[in-house]
Structure 1
Amino acid sequence: MPRKATRKGLLRDFSPRVGYAYDLRMQYHCDLDDTDDPHPEDPRRTYWIHNLLERSDLLNLMHAVKIFPATDTQILRVHRNHYINSLEKTKVMERASLIDEQNKYDSVYLCSESYYCAKLSAGGLLSLCHEVVSGRLDSGFAIVRPPGHHACKSRAMGFCLLNNIAIAIEDILLNGLAERIMVVDWDIHHGNGIQDIFIRNPNVLYCSLHRYDGGDFYPASNEGNMDKVGKDAGRGFNINIPWVTSGMGDGDYLYAFNQLIIPVAKQFSPDFIIIASGFDAAICDPIGECDVSPECYATMTHMLNEINNGKIVLSLEGGYNLDAIANSALGCVKALLGIKWRAGFIPEQAIYNAYATLSAAEINGVSIGPQVYRDEWKADGGWDPKIEVPECFNAGPSVLGKEVVDEVVRIQKQYWKCL
């Protein structure tokens, strides 16, 4: 049974069994090239999320999953041996050699601890997924780094070394723990690595919502376009929703969910759902430049958690504003736990990036004290996003966002009767 809450005002009996994977050692993966200017894939990203969940007393309602590094056997089901050998050698390289090695890849940094951290990241997600697919937990959040959805079979790219989600999926399928797995990738970048690995697999449905910008947005390939629907037996099991510009917001994402993602999910009826949970589409993210709120992330999590008895795990991918990712993760975890609060309790979007990640935060000249939960906390099985996030839930799509989703629906109709 879940641990009981300690803070006055929280209900003491929560039915959802929600786990999390976290290991402080993942922060050892760091950029050696320029320590004065933190890399966007900042080692503090996982700590920031964990810290806010802890100070909000949510960790008291969750189960910590013990983490082990992914094994060579598990990793080599996805990645080529020569590539893993090259990562293995980085453990004993000097600084100059590490910098030379990282320059062989696209947007990657390396240190002597990087490969071990990548194995911990993949292993943390694996451990959490096993707990959920086995039924010991209902859902969970993997607070892991380095991220993984860009990592390909034979190369690192886009801050990613090992493809965490692909490694977890291959292990689950091989061990017969699930037959149909759905991946929803809401990172602002297309998860080219996941798509490539499962492009022919009809047992893995991959759905990605990402900035495409005519193929110019990272990873700058036409593989993220809407016409990439899968190959051979996997045809129809790859769905790309490629936004044509920055500025996509709650209305665009919820329109995509209502018109496409959720109907397809219900027809596919997955045994297990993994969310490639990058938060770089969040408001204030300097790279994604979009406007998705924490409330919207909570709503999307809730919608997916309603599918097929709700076996679901979120795995951290991107997200480069520390406060934005922490508050977005907070919303997602609340959705998993079934917690709701009174409308209006969430701070306005203009200041949300300044609230409560530290005991006293000063961000962009705004000082604000720690977040305090009082009688606004509620918890039951009937979590209602209309109560939780009325502005988000009622938001309409932009003209460009609607055009993209409608065109993807038109393409996918030949594969999905629900559309």
Structure 2
Amino acid sequence: MRTALVYHEDMTAAQLLWEDPECEIERPERLTAALERLRQWGLEQRCLQLAAREASEAELGLVHSPEYVSLLRGTQTLSTRELQALSGQYDAVYFHPSTFHCARLAVGAALQLVDAVLTGAVHNGLALVRPPGHHSQRAAANGFCVFNNVAIAAKYAKQRHGLHRILIVDWDVHHGQGIQYIFEDDPSVLYFSWHRYEHGHFWPYLRESDADAVGQGQGRGFTVNLPWNQVGMGNADYVAAFLHVLLPVAFEFDPELVLISAGFDSAIGDPEGGYHLESLSQSVCMVVKALLGDPALPLSGPMEPHHSALESIQSVRAAQTPHWTSLRQQGSTPILNPSTYSLERRASPVSPGGPKFKAAEAQASAALSSLLDQLHLNPTLPVRTAVALTALDAALVLPADVLRQEGSAPQEETRAWARLHEALAQDKALTALGKVLHLLNGILDGQVNSGIAATPEPAAAPTLDVVIRRSLSHGARRLLCVAVGQLDRPADLADDGRNLWLNIRGKEAAAPSMFQVSVPLPGTTGGFVSCVLALVLPLAYGFQPDLVLVALGPAHGLQAPRAALLASLLRGPAGGRVLVLLEQGSTSQLAGILARVLQGEAPPGLGPFSMASPEDTQALIYLRGQLEAEWKMLQVAGEAGGARPRLNTGSGGSSSPQ
């Protein structure tokens, strides 16, 4: 199995023994509801199930002081009154006679998962634990957190498995200051956190949660804080944060292990702190589906980041640009804003049961209901990936659950489409076209999620033309075509906003319209990653396609790991609906790698990070400047000064100077 699920029912034992509105939201049902929903969705059965073990006190000592561990050990024999008194010495914490056992299980679950991944038993996994950990510090409990589960897991991976680069991503709505403090001077651990901040008015009310806190000493640049200063951030804001901050830095850092501190209190339907069990359990299920390789739902809503989000992104990029080459390659030089921290009145947390909480809960429940409707309307398809090749090479190795398609479209349909191009009348081209159309029909009809098909080289461009026209005339409302190599956009294809044409390996950087973009193929790893993250994906998410076509045409020059990364990342914008067209002469290795990433496996590594060439950087800067007025996902800062020039929405336009 590819995914582990680590859990132990004893972690539900600790509970609040006295009245405390602030702490009552951290309750055993947060685990039991999530586990029950995993079983209802059939996800637990698809995972390798591991029972959590207790972490040893030596393992706890990788992060916590002996005195603190001893103090927690002593809580097992305290009375309720003594537990309440001790809890009052910390911020938003309660202790129970079972807390020490539960907290050791939570740490042990994380360590078991690290062992399972790093020994190759699984590819990834989820440790379903409580109490949480990211606020806990060396000698202090904080914010429901007793031991710092993720921090101990990182230290353990370094000590036991000899790792040198670990990325921690913390997406909880609250800043994980405990993790930051533990690793702020350690360049072997890159800590990224986005969190609600509100200029310092949101818990934990810390100056060091702002964007200009970048680490200390040798660890400068290895703490990356993205503070949200406005509530109500949506899909566009989070995607922009991924594309313009987290992913560029992560690719440059090249981690050997990624640990996620997965708090779900910023999810739709959860007004405060994991209180809404339905939202929490749905979020856990969606994460497990992603780990299993299931395609994610297409994102809903307008893909235009809030101005406040762009200001935050600009601030963190400005603070981090001196430390990361990848951020300097993406274009505009950001201006470092002064700290946004304010000592003015702090906002009071919303208490469960109060009128503000009930109003927020009602609004969140409505949003969650809409999301659940999407889940019912977009069930997981029976065939995730199909391969339609005219001649299957014996060297081609496919995952067992990838369908080897044998059928073809009806001859009458195939010949009708072939009449559009003389090159398609030849026997080999006609046979290949029939297989392509059969696979495409399966995707458009909802029987297949993604696929790979091959065409003879002389028929590559005509076949792509037919696929575009067939898609737009039979159900695809918006079609993204990423053409790599010597493939020209069909001359009479309407520029009506239903198709977005993006050519990689064009002769020059050009944007004749907002729906026609051409960029040279970058030669270096850093240049290619910047092109994908700063241009291709912002356009793709902004366009919100129903289907993505990736055409690797003649002389595409794309190495297999880069092609796999491109196909893998393009699964996101269209809910996994990706069709890859290959030349029949492509290697079996390339077809096999593409099949695996479309099936949900991680793409192979790109190798050492290397800087983009000045020419590639200039091309990227030029295109972003031309397009960002129309495509808001390209923006990395709030607008300043006068209006930018706007592109034509039809034919015409401009290209970069020679």
TM-score (norm 2): 0.49
The one of 208, 213, 217 equivalent to 2:193 is 208
Shift of 1:177: 4.0
Separation in 2 of the partners of 1:320 and 1:402?
Answer: 29
Separation in 1 of the partners of 2:21 and 2:274?
Answer: 20
The one of 268, 274, 277 equivalent to 2:253 is 268
Separation in 2 of the partners of 1:262 and 1:38?
Answer: 35
Per the alignment, residue 74 of structure 1 pairs with 59
Separation in 1 of the partners of 2:11 and 2:66?
Answer: 23
The reply on whether 1:399 has 2:307 as its aligned counterpart is yes
The one of 185, 204, 212 equivalent to 1:227 is 212
1:262-317 Cα offsets, whole Å, 9 max, x none, are: 11111101000011100011122222xxxxxxxxxxxxxxxxxxxxxxxxxxxxxx
Separation in 1 of the partners of 2:157 and 2:252?
Answer: 21
Amino acid at match of 1:89: G
Separation in 2 of the partners of 1:36 and 1:194?
Answer: 26
Separation in 2 of the partners of 1:203 and 1:339?
Answer: 31
Per the alignment, residue 242 of structure 2 pairs with 257
The one of 314, 323, 337 equivalent to 1:415 is 323
Per the alignment, residue 327 of structure 1 pairs with 282
Per the alignment, residue 331 of structure 2 pairs with none
Amino acid at match of 1:192: Q
Q: CA RMSD in A?
A: 1.6
Shift of 1:203: 0.4
Per the alignment, residue 381 of structure 2 pairs with none
The one of 172, 186, 191 equivalent to 2:157 is 172
> Closer, same or farther in 2 for the Cα pair 1:265/1:78, shift >3 Å?
same
Shift of 1:36: 9.9
Separation in 2 of the partners of 1:177 and 1:249?
Answer: 38
1:107-147 Cα offsets, whole Å, 9 max, x none, are: 00111001110000111111111101221110001110000
Asked whether the 8 Å contact 2:118–2:161 carries over to 1, the reply is no
SS in 1 for 2:323: coil
Shift of 1:161: 0.5
The one of 295, 298, 302 equivalent to 1:389 is 298
The reply on whether 1:282 has 2:267 as its aligned counterpart is yes
SS in 2 for 1:64: strand
Shift of 1:218: 1.0
Asked whether the 8 Å contact 1:71–1:119 carries over to 2, the reply is yes
Higher relative contact order (CA 8 A, sep 6+): 1
**Pairing of 1:295-314 with structure 2 (within 5 A):** none
**5+ long unaligned stretches in structure 1:** 3-16, 288-317, 341-384
Separation in 1 of the partners of 2:115 and 2:22?
Answer: 38
> Closer, same or farther in 2 for the Cα pair 1:169/1:81, shift >3 Å?
same
Separation in 1 of the partners of 2:275 and 2:122?
Answer: 29
> Closer, same or farther in 2 for the Cα pair 1:402/1:28, shift >3 Å?
same
Asked whether the 8 Å contact 1:188–1:278 carries over to 2, the reply is yes
Asked whether the 8 Å contact 2:22–2:92 carries over to 1, the reply is no
The reply on whether 1:53 has 2:41 as its aligned counterpart is no
SS in 2 for 1:414: helix
Shift of 1:35: 8.6
Asked whether the 8 Å contact 1:88–1:115 carries over to 2, the reply is yes
Separation in 2 of the partners of 1:237 and 1:25?
Answer: 36
Amino acid at match of 2:200: G
Shift of 1:320: 2.5
> Closer, same or farther in 2 for the Cα pair 1:100/1:38, shift >3 Å?
closer
Asked whether the 8 Å contact 1:133–1:177 carries over to 2, the reply is no
Per the alignment, residue 372 of structure 1 pairs with none
Per the alignment, residue 232 of structure 2 pairs with 247
SS in 2 for 1:65: strand
Separation in 1 of the partners of 2:317 and 2:62?
Answer: 33
Separation in 2 of the partners of 1:71 and 1:416?
Answer: 37
Separation in 2 of the partners of 1:236 and 1:40?
Answer: 35
Separation in 2 of the partners of 1:239 and 1:22?
Answer: 30
Percent identical residues: 36
Asked whether the 8 Å contact 1:134–1:177 carries over to 2, the reply is no
Amino acid at match of 2:128: I
Shift of 1:253: 0.8
Shift of 1:37: 9.9
1:128-181 Cα offsets, whole Å, 9 max, x none, are: 111012211100011100000000001001000000011111111012342210
Separation in 1 of the partners of 2:20 and 2:168?
Answer: 35
> Closer, same or farther in 2 for the Cα pair 1:410/1:101, shift >3 Å?
same
Separation in 2 of the partners of 1:65 and 1:395?
Answer: 39
> Closer, same or farther in 2 for the Cα pair 1:286/1:85, shift >3 Å?
same
**5+ long unaligned stretches in structure 2:** 328-658
Separation in 1 of the partners of 2:173 and 2:21?
Answer: 26
Amino acid at match of 2:227: P
Shift of 1:217: 1.0
Asked whether the 8 Å contact 1:118–1:162 carries over to 2, the reply is yes
SS in 1 for 2:36: helix
**Pairing of 1:176-187 with structure 2 (within 5 A):** 176-187=161-172
Amino acid at match of 2:222: F
Separation in 2 of the partners of 1:265 and 1:319?
Answer: 28
Per the alignment, residue 338 of structure 1 pairs with 293
Amino acid at match of 2:90: Y
SS in 1 for 2:116: helix
SS in 1 for 2:258: strand
Asked whether the 8 Å contact 2:235–2:299 carries over to 1, the reply is no
Amino acid at match of 1:418: S
Separation in 2 of the partners of 1:36 and 1:390?
Answer: 35
Asked whether the 8 Å contact 1:22–1:142 carries over to 2, the reply is yes
Asked whether the 8 Å contact 1:133–1:178 carries over to 2, the reply is no
Amino acid at match of 2:93: V
Larger Rg: 2
> Closer, same or farther in 2 for the Cα pair 1:207/1:37, shift >3 Å?
closer
The reply on whether 1:101 has 2:94 as its aligned counterpart is no
Asked whether the 8 Å contact 2:23–2:92 carries over to 1, the reply is no
Per the alignment, residue 181 of structure 2 pairs with 196
> Closer, same or farther in 2 for the Cα pair 1:38/1:165, shift >3 Å?
closer
